[in-house]
Structure 1
């Protein structure tokens, strides 16, 4: 399959990035070192190209009602210029993708899907929109998405973008809340700025016309350099999101997993109702209601390594053996790596309920040796909100 390239591909090559396939896109894995890019985001700021993400516009008189039906969350109640993390599920409750939905107008929504699942999400929405006065349109090719993440992100974005009362949705930039968005200006171009992210740090995601992506990328790099900003690749993004305990589709989430399995039952709104009080029969509702009432077969937990060797996705979680050999398997690692911020290995894993309590001592089979881990709460890392 031919790998797609974002509008910033030449910029990544000019910066010497190592490129890799990700969800059918050729994306920067790293520019310098994974550790340097990770630490820059925790201590200053990182600049990410996220233009591979799927962008879907949903508009129309019944756009909110349609999304209430198509997704597990409630969008009729979502206020204008706010965002919501949600999921789209199959009829059996399995997760097709996790999404962020922005309400940019009374009858306008913007759905952001993971790159590898963008076509699946678009297809499901197009199928589910039948009977609603709403329009679903793929706008991925029209937009680029650039993120600035880290404690210096606000200063950097403020130097590059300008406020505009006519398009801001009534919110000043310094009043922008987490999971909210507003319109701003990059020169004479309107951009959508959201205070969201996937790193555990404060930060902003900026949607810009694809034709202006290079100009915005260069402007952010120049403004951010005195603040310690560096371009960051997928490798740093993965270690950052792991420390922050954020799920990754294909690892913690997939079609065999329900939101309840992943400890994300809070995003499922079984009680959402229409204006007349009638319950909304959204796709997957019956299966998810049954799953909520049943005992879990597995639980997603955090694991902290007490030795040096890290766990990796797919490794078996086992009972600790006295002789250092792996005991009986009780789960499987979904994501794992050394934590640059915390200085020890961390992992997320699905385990059986009887070994899921905080403080339970387990092990991970790392090439035939039982490496010690202990169950800890997620996330592993929380930023100081000052």
Structure 2
């Protein structure tokens, strides 16, 4: 397994480590619920250095990135755009963040398990006036998340952090070290991402943890990252979206800009849009005991009508929640459904997303 620059620090903190996309990563330190509540109410610090960074530069960079992804990225420098990247049939290769660093300089932040597949697709289709490079090994990545995150990070920078608006980026110094700072998040809370030299990762981690002592900061693992993003109904690649699912049925219509020039998957997605989707990503709350796991059947009137993609206990709601795909005719809010958990029907109800 690959290891981030903070691997030994995680072991020293007593983290429970797992294989995540080929990386040895911390799933929890003190406990998923405690870490989850720290991020919801105060702040938590994540090591997400396993994420991939792909640089795209050259005179044709803007037109090429716009062709690669479904969303519109021809925006001002300093913006960050969330978007799917699709095959010609509309299936999602990955969902990613596009950072516009300079007019002809982009950084695509991709999921760890998809990085090699993504880079192959991007390189294979790149025109002659575009250069694509895999920069993953050149970055460490820390995510400070939670309502107190701005107060914590403000003590380590020499500029007004409130001026960095959501889905924007800056090249600035943290504790005297230059790095890319963005404000996106994958938790449903305010938060910041720090893209830095891996050699600085432990120094910056310790500085943030020290600065956050009075704000209830905790190291946070991938376990609570999953429960946090699920409460916010943010898709996880490999669970809620994949190559067999298109953005329209995943509720990502807002990321598909049909009015821009051609992009991979546009024709197929236009056909799907015109015909209407057969299934939709829905949220549900279980009425009885049990956790809905990925792949479990969803039934309506004792017949299979869909499948679960994500499920967990929600520490914020104190309920068992989940997401899944349900046939369109059954996907209205309030619908009574059943989740088949180990051959046992567990009653549930379709609810509006996000959960919080």
| TM-score of the two chains, using structure 2 as the length reference | 0.97
Aligned to 1:113: 110
For residues 162 and 7 of structure 1, what CA distance do their matches in structure 2 show?
A: 26
Aligned to 2:88: 91
Aligned to 2:215: 227
Q: Which moved more, 1:261-270 or 1:244-253?
A: 261-270
Q: Is the 8 A contact 2:175 2:207 kept in 1?
A: no
For residues 230 and 296 of structure 1, what CA distance do their matches in structure 2 show?
A: 42
Q: Secondary structure at the match of 1:283?
A: coil
Shift of 1:121: 1.0
Shift of 1:233: 0.6
Shift of 1:210: 1.1
Shift of 1:130: 2.0
Shift of 1:371: 1.2
2:116 pairs with 1:141: no
Unaligned runs of 5+ residues in structure 2 are none
Unaligned runs of 5+ residues in structure 1 are 164-171, 273-279, 321-326, 382-386
Q: Deviations over 1:145-186 (max 9, x none)?
A: 1000001100111112333xxxxxxxx421211111112212
For residues 162 and 223 of structure 2, what CA distance do their matches in structure 1 show?
A: 30
Shift of 1:189: 2.2
Among 267, 278, 290, the alignment partner of 1:309 is 290
For residues 198 and 27 of structure 2, what CA distance do their matches in structure 1 show?
A: 21
For residues 162 and 217 of structure 1, what CA distance do their matches in structure 2 show?
A: 18
Aligned to 1:245: 233
Q: How does 1:5-154 map to 2 (within 5 A)?
A: 5-76=3-74, 78-131=75-128, 133-154=129-150
Q: Secondary structure at the match of 2:154?
A: helix
For residues 340 and 188 of structure 1, what CA distance do their matches in structure 2 show?
A: 37
Q: Secondary structure at the match of 1:26?
A: strand
2:349 pairs with 1:374: yes
Q: Deviations over 1:188-222 (max 9, x none)?
A: 42111111110000111111111111110111111
Among 136, 155, 170, the alignment partner of 1:159 is 155
Aligned to 2:186: 198
Q: Is the 8 A contact 1:307 1:344 kept in 2?
A: no
For residues 179 and 142 of structure 1, what CA distance do their matches in structure 2 show?
A: 22
Aligned to 1:285: 266
For residues 63 and 177 of structure 1, what CA distance do their matches in structure 2 show?
A: 25
Shift of 1:369: 2.1
Q: Secondary structure at the match of 1:207?
A: strand
Two-structure CA RMSD over aligned residues (Å): 1.2
Among 325, 331, 337, the alignment partner of 2:306 is 331
Q: 1:11 to 1:161 in 2, by over 3 A?
A: farther
Shift of 1:292: 1.1
For residues 114 and 151 of structure 1, what CA distance do their matches in structure 2 show?
A: 25
For residues 314 and 125 of structure 1, what CA distance do their matches in structure 2 show?
A: 30
Shift of 1:306: 2.0
Divergent runs of 4+, >3 A:
none
For residues 185 and 147 of structure 2, what CA distance do their matches in structure 1 show?
A: 12
Q: Is the 8 A contact 2:150 2:161 kept in 1?
A: no
For residues 203 and 103 of structure 1, what CA distance do their matches in structure 2 show?
A: 19
Q: Deviations over 1:34-85 (max 9, x none)?
A: 1101111011111000100000111122211110112112222x11111100
Q: Secondary structure at the match of 2:212?
A: helix
For residues 310 and 263 of structure 1, what CA distance do their matches in structure 2 show?
A: 23
Q: Secondary structure at the match of 2:97?
A: strand
Shift of 1:134: 2.0
Q: Is the 8 A contact 2:183 2:191 kept in 1?
A: yes
Q: Is the 8 A contact 2:175 2:204 kept in 1?
A: no
Among 234, 237, 242, the alignment partner of 1:254 is 242
Q: Secondary structure at the match of 2:63?
A: helix
